[in-house]
């Protein structure tokens, strides 16, 4: 926590909420209800380690809001987990889902462990026991609360969760929908792994395609040639870097715990990833310069800075040194409210987490729908569309007497498979959300920043659904 930050992560979410609430018309009591975390489950359970010792594990699941069911949000494994953090992250999930029109309430879970210090077998025991504790208290289920991956967890942990849940609930036909981010063989959806990074890319690309926004920042319209710095080479950072590079931007620096590297010509995230796997460090990558501290990457001159690791990394202390024109919050809560104030003063556009990183939960929603419908996306229409496209193309060729080349032919005839549909559903969601937030900001120019505009959008949607539920007539 930075020296001049006097409030916790949850308080900083409340602070951003209050800043935005002033631009809405809702009753104070209703706003208080939206802000509050409805249910907080703190648990302790024992695990027998491989060396025979018994350790007490501290874990949480928080359901921030049930204005829509189920609750939704990841589970993180980290040494830093505490109740305040899980509460903050659960609240962000409520606002995030509202902004991208995913009909869920917010939730989040956390287990206070550093997964690197445990064997695979120990991690499996911890994950299964955590799931059993959630089942006991009715804190998990396709219509109750649906976890997903977050920092320190992935498809493997989700597979353990669904297996534990299904074995404790024999015959529950929708059991696969109790968790998302599963491996495809266990009911997962194609496109979930890269979803958050792809959503970050779609969101920033849309912002960069807005001429008025780019003009204010003194940047050219479009992503082409823009320089990007990514902090964190986990799932979200890796995929963000990949899509930016493929989309024509230049990833000039990458940072991880052990340090950061810089290369003016641009880095290939996969080559760096393989180098780190081989040598155990991101540093000394051929052709790149080492930076002394990993936090130095946050202060590099660039067009777009993507913090994709943990909260509070840009705060009142280092925000004045940030030279990026655009910050894309791929992590949850990487910038504190103090940093926001400094960005506004310095003319830096901070594109906020609770909409920009919503790609993960959006595709989780698609996965949950797949699980409830028990059919893979594209299964019913892929072949039909291909046959129809072939027929239309044949007719055009016959009428014109010309033939389309083979590459075009393949493209035109192609019927959508699951990944195509998931990616296009995500693209539509991110573009629509970006425009919605920017419209709110334009309609009310006294809104100080994009985060506040995003909160206004979230508050209005959650409040409306409370009112429609008849809870606050």
**Site residues (vs ligand GLU, CB under 6 A):** 72-74, 148, 150, 180, 332, 357, 360-361, 364
In angstroms, the Cα distances linking 271 to 224, 229, 291 are 22, 16, 18
Q: Which are the contacts of 447, defined by CB distance < 8 A and separation ≥ 6?
A: 20, 23, 440, 441, 453, 456
SS3 letters across 387-427: HHHHHHHHHHHHHHCCCCCHHHHHHHHCCCCHHHHHHHHHH
Q: Which are the contacts of 112, defined by CB distance < 8 A and separation ≥ 6?
A: 57, 58, 59, 78, 79, 80, 81, 82
Nearer of residues 262 and 377 to ligand GLU, judged by Cβ: 377
CB of 153 to ligand GLU, least distance (A): 9
CB of 180 to ligand GLU, least distance (A): 5
Q: State whether residue 146 is helix, strand or coil.
A: strand
The whole-angstrom separation of Cα 2 and Cα 312 is: 8
CB of 72 to ligand GLU, least distance (A): 4
Nearer of residues 244 and 366 to ligand GLU, judged by Cβ: 366
Nearer of residues 227 and 336 to ligand GLU, judged by Cβ: 336
Q: Is 137 a catalytic residue?
A: no
- Other C-beta atoms closer than 10 Å to the C-beta of 283 total 17
Contact in structure between 317 and 334 (CB atoms under 8 Å): no
For 142-271, strand residue ranges (E) read: 145-146, 227-231, 250-256, 259-262
Nearer of residues 447 and 462 to ligand GLU, judged by Cβ: 462
CB of 199 to ligand GLU, least distance (A): 9
The whole-angstrom separation of Cα 331 and Cα 316 is: 18
Tokens, residue 107: 């939730």
Choosing from 35, 108, 242, 461, which is the catalytic residue? 108
Nearer of residues 90 and 447 to ligand GLU, judged by Cβ: 90
Length of the chain: 473
Tokens, residue 461: 């949607």
CA torsion angle 232 298 430 24 (round to 10): 130
Nearer of residues 66 and 357 to ligand GLU, judged by Cβ: 357
CB-nearest residue to ligand GLU? 74
CB of 259 to ligand GLU, least distance (A): 26
Nearer of residues 102 and 282 to ligand GLU, judged by Cβ: 102
CB of 197 to ligand GLU, least distance (A): 12
The whole-angstrom separation of Cα 294 and Cα 38 is: 37
Cα 5-6-10 angle, rounded to 5 deg = 95
Question: Which residue from 298, 301, 306, 346 is spatially nearest to 329, judged by alpha carbons?
Answer: 306
Contact in structure between 44 and 56 (CB atoms under 8 Å): yes
Nearer of residues 259 and 359 to ligand GLU, judged by Cβ: 359
What are the catalytic residues? 108
């Amino acid at each position: 926590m930075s020296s001049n930050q006097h409030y916790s992560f949850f308080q900083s979410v409340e602070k951003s909420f209050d800043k935005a609430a002033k631009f809405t018309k809702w009753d104070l009591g209703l706003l208080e209800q939206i802000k509050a975390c409805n249910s907080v489950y703190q648990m302790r359970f024992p695990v027998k380690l491989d060396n025979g010792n018994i350790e007490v594990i501290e874990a949480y699941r928080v359901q921030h809001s049930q204005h829509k069911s189920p609750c939704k949000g990841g589970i993180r494994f980290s040494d830093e987990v505490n109740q305040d953090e899980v509460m903050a992250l659960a609240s962000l999930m409520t606002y995030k889902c509202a902004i991208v029109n995913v009909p869920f309430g917010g939730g989040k879970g956390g287990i206070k462990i550093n997964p690197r210090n445990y064997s695979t077998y120990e991690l499996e025991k911890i994950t299964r026991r955590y799931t059993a504790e959630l089942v006991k208290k009715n804190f998990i289920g396709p219509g109750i609360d649906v976890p997903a991956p977050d920092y320190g967890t992935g498809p493997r942990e989700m597979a353990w969760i669904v297996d534990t849940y299904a074995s404790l609930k024999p015959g529950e036909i929708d059991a696969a929908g109790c968790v998302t981010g599963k491996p495809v063989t266990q009911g997962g959806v194609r496109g979930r792994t890269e979803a958050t990074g792809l959503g970050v890319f779609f969101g920033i690309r849309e912002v960069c395609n807005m001429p008025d926004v780019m003009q204010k920042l003194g940047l050219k319209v479009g992503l082409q040639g823009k320089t990007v710095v990514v902090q964190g080479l986990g799932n979200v950072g890796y995929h963000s870097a990949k899509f930016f590079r493929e989309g024509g931007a230049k990833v000039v620096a990458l940072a991880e715990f052990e340090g950061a590297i810089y290369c003016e010509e641009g880095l290939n995230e996969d080559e760096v990833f393989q180098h780190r796997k081989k040598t155990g460090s991101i540093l000394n990558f051929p052709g790149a310069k080492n930076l002394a501290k990993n936090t130095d990457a946050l202060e590099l001159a660039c067009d777009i800075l993507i913090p994709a690791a943990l909260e509070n990394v840009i705060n009142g202390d280092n925000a004045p040194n940030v030279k990026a024109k655009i910050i894309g919050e791929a992590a949850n809560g990487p910038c504190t409210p103090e940093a926001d104030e400094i960005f506004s003063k310095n003319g830096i556009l901070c594109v906020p987490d609770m909409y920009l990183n919503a790609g993960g939960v959006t595709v989780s929603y698609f996965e949950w729908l797949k699980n409830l419908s028990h059919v893979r996306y594209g299964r019913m229409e892929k072949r039909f569309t291909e046959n129809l496209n072939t027929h239309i193309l044949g007719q055009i060729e016959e009428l014109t007497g010309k033939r389309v080349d083979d590459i075009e032919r393949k493209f035109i005839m192609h019927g959508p498979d699951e990944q195509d549909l998931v990616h296009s559903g995500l693209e539509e969601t991110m573009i629509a959300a970006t425009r919605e937030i920017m419209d709110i900001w334009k309609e009310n120019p006294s809104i100080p920043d994009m985060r506040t505009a995003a909160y206004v959008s979230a508050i209005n949607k959650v409040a409306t659904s409370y009112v429609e539920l008849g809870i606050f007539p």
